């Protein structure tokens, strides 16, 4: 990896971290990290949480606008 590539990756990681802090609740962040970073399969995560795989698909009221703004 070149220094430029490393710097770009660090910038992207920081932007993703900020977007997740602003747009997601603590619970949603835990789920996102489990799925995206730890690569826990959705059915396994649902079992761990005692819920169905479709639970939590809709963002809580007031969060969808900030999520769209951050990600664009």
Residue 25 within a domain: yes
Q: How does pLDDT run across 8-54, given as a tens digit for each residue?
A: 999 999 999 999 999 999 999 999 999 999 999 999 999 998 887 66
Residue 42 within a domain: yes
Residue 9 within a domain: no
Residue 13 within a domain: no
The alpha carbon of 19 is separated from its chain's Cα centroid by a whole number of angstroms, namely: 8
Confidence at residue 62, expressed as pLDDT on a 0 to 100 scale: 54
pTM of the model: 0.61
Residue 56 within a domain: yes
Find the domain containing 61 and state its range.
18-71
Residue 54 within a domain: yes
Domains of the chain: total: 1
Residue 6 within a domain: no
Confidence at residue 52, expressed as pLDDT on a 0 to 100 scale: 75
3 state SS for the chain:
CCHHHHHHHHHHHHHHHHHHHHHCCHHHHHHHHHHHCCCCCHHHHHHHHCCCCCCCCCCCCCCHHHHHHHHC
């Amino acid at each position: 990896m070149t220094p430029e590539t490393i710097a770009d990756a660090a910038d992207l990681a920081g932007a993703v971290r900020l977007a997740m802090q602003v747009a997601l609740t603590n619970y949603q962040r835990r789920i996102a990290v489990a799925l995206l970073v730890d690569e826990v399969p959705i059915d396994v995560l649902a079992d761990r949480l005692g819920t169905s795989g479709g639970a939590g698909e809709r963002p809580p009221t007031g969060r969808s606008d900030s999520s769209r703004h951050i990600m664009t």
